[in-house]
Structure 1
Amino acid sequence: MATTLSSTSTAQSRFEQARFIPPDAIFALTAQYLKDSFPQKVNLGQGAYRDADGKPWLLPSVNKARQTLLEQGLNHEYLPILGLSTFRQAAAELLLGPELFAQRENKIATCQSLSGTGALHLAGLLLKACQNRLPKVYIPEPTWSNHHQVFDSLGFPCESFKYYDHERKDMDIDSYYSMLKQAEPNSVVILHACAHNPTGLDPSKEQWREIAHLMKARNLFPLFDAAYLGFNSGNLDEDAFAIRLFIREMEMEAGVCVSFAKNMGLYGERIGCFLLANNSKQTAVHTQSMLEMLQRSEVSNPPAFGAKIASLILGRDDLRQMWYADMFTMSDRLRWMRKALYDNLVSLGAPGSWEHLIRQSGMFGFLGLPPDIVLELRETYHVYMADNSRISIAGLNEGNVEYVARSITQCLLRIEGLGHHPSAAL
């Protein structure tokens, strides 16, 4: 006779060991902001460009490319596993510059990726597949949270190194050099190509050269996260300086994880590329074949629409020039808003020094506010920022920058009135 299970019995789940993971802090912050009904609320959390009216901006170059694609007749066929070949080639030439690309083209492996995160994950998968023992991954502190999540999830031993001096509110280059001199040979170092997230502080060209020399001497592998090319200075060639330094001048193997989310405004299209500069033609062929296999097992085929837009912009001189102008428009507005926040904080008498804010560059500002002030700004003034007081400068505009500065000032003056010294926390 068949055994009948009681309808009230509960079988033990095979997922009993699952643990609750808190939501991603930035996306949770955005959700909280969206639920807020306060009319003067300000979102300085998520790193997405906004125009002077606080609205998403469709880049004119992207709009023109999109119209062109529709006129040509857009289909929805699969891309090859490695992605759109014209996009991959154009992205590589953009990163390296025409001269270096022509010299090294046959030593380069590329694979289209799901934006910068996907490129980092592909890099991790390739490093894992090509090493007998997983190398240590050195990650700056602070950094973008996904750096740890990507490499931790793949089993890499990760070690943070001090990048920022909270007392001086500046980059700690001496700690950086010290780490490189002591780093375990054959390890990987995560490098922000420009517009460091969250501090907005980058090495100078001379410091980049010293970093490159130390890494080469220690046989360390540079893995660049290039999410903000063109956002830092408004000039992509200027922002790609460090990448080209390592590959051209130092003749080092290097990985570059590039995203077109920010500089083309293609956030939801998830368009990125992983580039690996190899030291031989043979390893380029082999690593590209491995990237194809890894991509097939992960996503099979990458998304097409955004890749076609990016390829068209990069491949046509008129659209590329429009895009360069678009990037300057965005970076120029960010510079003005950073200066406006600084000027308002100073004129309103915000306690402490704010020189660090204008030393920074790129999409983010690192205010250095203590957690209780960040919470008060959120709960009392409806100004939303990351818990570490990183703000998206793109969230500022002429209509809210004075309000944000005044809110910060009032919070700090309240602490000062209670007998605390706010500059110590800043």
Structure 2
Amino acid sequence: MKVNLGIGTYRDENGNLDSLMVVRRAEYMLAKNLIQTKVYLNHTGLEAYCESGLTLVLGVDSVCRKEDRACSVQGLGGTGTNHETMLKEAGFEVREYRYWNKKTFNIDFVGLLEDLEDAPAKSVILLHGCAHNPTGCDPTKEQWQQIAEIIQRKHLFPFFDLAYQGFASGDLDEDAWSIRYFADTLNLELFVAQSFSKNLGVYSDRIGQLIACFHFPETVPIFLSQITLVVSRNYLTPPQHGAEIVSTVLNTEELYQEWILDVRRMYNRIQTIRQKLYTRLNELGTPGTWTHIITQTGMFAFTGLNPQQCRTLVHEHHCYIPSNGRVNMCAITKENVDHVAESVHQVIVTLHRLSRHSSELSAIEMQNCQ
């Protein structure tokens, strides 16, 4: 059996790409609309899409929105892999802050705060709004408040990556809490890179947007004038079809309610498979602690497997996993969960036995030399 654990897309219980019926319904509605044309969109994108996406992130009661201090521009979805390269090519100095504690399989929160304290004033801080990729570890609300305090005091600029809204808790509003806290409660200026690739399954439509929140409404038209220049020099105008799909889902009450249920269903599947993998590893008596499998959130689990263990999984068990040990939980199904768990178990036990044997041989050699 071969299992691709490194794939970056949501999969259903049969291992197939989940094409949501709500998207099909939206496309059917669009196909029946004889008034719709294929005319070029404005530089900033489809207005109905931008407005509905903005509401989804900030909420219907957002103070920032009511005071006209927020805006959004249609952009591409699924660009996270390129963030560091793009920033470097644009001339930015890129630094990393500590996030993952490989001993506790959780956030290195002390290290994170220390690195934020050391960041130069007015630095841009890239944060994941929820369902952190690759670790699956999100700050608690209390930790978000501590992060926000440093950002506010140090005059840092938060830039949220929101690619998995709904996948951390199953609730679209709950998963936007950190952004709403920064924007409305603290009135912080910020950017949000939003994507619908995962939670609507519209990967190839490449649909996302850039959301901006400011202190004053007068800043909005200034920002839009500048971002329009950037767009016109790069791709001139964004594609329409994906934006129409998302806009139709978000602005049609029946479809929106169906999508809410879809998001909850996808979240529940992820949680169920986490529990099954955790249970099976414990049944096998796999060395180590595996609680982090069920405490992490979102599509991904940071297993704690080292590069050698990952290579062995690939070459000897056909469980294809990146060397950092990140697993896409959606790639695991009821059909392959036993194979994955047993493969992990065998790799850990075998390599541990070989390592111990090697240490014993080294000790014997040292004694002989003496």
Spell out the pairing of 1:389-404 with structure 2 (5 A cutoff).
389-404=325-340
Amino acid at match of 1:258: Q
CA distance in 1, matches of 2:283, 2:203: 36
TM-superposition CA deviations, 1:302-330 (whole Å, max 9, x none): 11111000001111111110110010111
1:384: how far off? 0.7
- Aligned length, in residue pairs: 356
Structure 1 vs Structure 2 CA RMSD? 1.4
Q: Counterpart in 1 of 2:26?
A: 65
TM-superposition CA deviations, 1:57-102 (whole Å, max 9, x none): 1112111111111111353321111100000011111110011067
Could you say what secondary structure the match of 1:388 adopts? Answer: coil
CA distance in 2, matches of 1:44, 1:153: 31
CA distance in 2, matches of 1:306, 1:182: 41
Asked if residue 415 in structure 1 is aligned to residue 355 in structure 2, the reply is no
Q: Counterpart in 2 of 1:124?
A: none
Structure 2 unaligned spans of 5+: 358-370
CA distance in 2, matches of 1:314, 1:233: 19
Q: Is the CA contact 2:67–2:217 (under 8 Å) kept in the aligned structure 1?
A: no
Q: Counterpart in 2 of 1:84?
A: 46
Among 315, 324, 327, the residue aligned to 2:260 = 324
CA distance in 2, matches of 1:349, 1:153: 48
TM-superposition CA deviations, 1:386-413 (whole Å, max 9, x none): 1101010110110001100001111111
Spell out the pairing of 1:22-421 with structure 2 (5 A cutoff).
40-73=1-34, 75-100=37-62, 103-104=65-66, 106-117=68-79, 145-420=81-356
CA distance in 2, matches of 1:393, 1:241: 24
- Percent of residue pairs identical: 37
1:178: how far off? 1.2
Amino acid at match of 1:63: R
CA distance in 2, matches of 1:102, 1:390: 36
TM-superposition CA deviations, 1:199-258 (whole Å, max 9, x none): 000000011011111110110000000000011111010000000000011111010100
State TM-score, norm by structure 1: 0.81
Q: Is the CA contact 2:99–2:111 (under 8 Å) kept in the aligned structure 1?
A: yes
Q: Is the CA contact 1:190–1:223 (under 8 Å) kept in the aligned structure 2?
A: yes
CA distance in 2, matches of 1:206, 1:217: 17
Q: Is the CA contact 2:78–2:203 (under 8 Å) kept in the aligned structure 1?
A: no
1:415: how far off? 1.3
Structure 1 unaligned spans of 5+: 1-39, 118-143, 422-426
Could you say what secondary structure the match of 1:47 adopts? Answer: coil
Amino acid at match of 2:267: S
CA gap 1:145/1:65 in 2 versus in 1, 3 angstroms: closer
CA distance in 1, matches of 2:132, 2:154: 23
1:146: how far off? 3.0
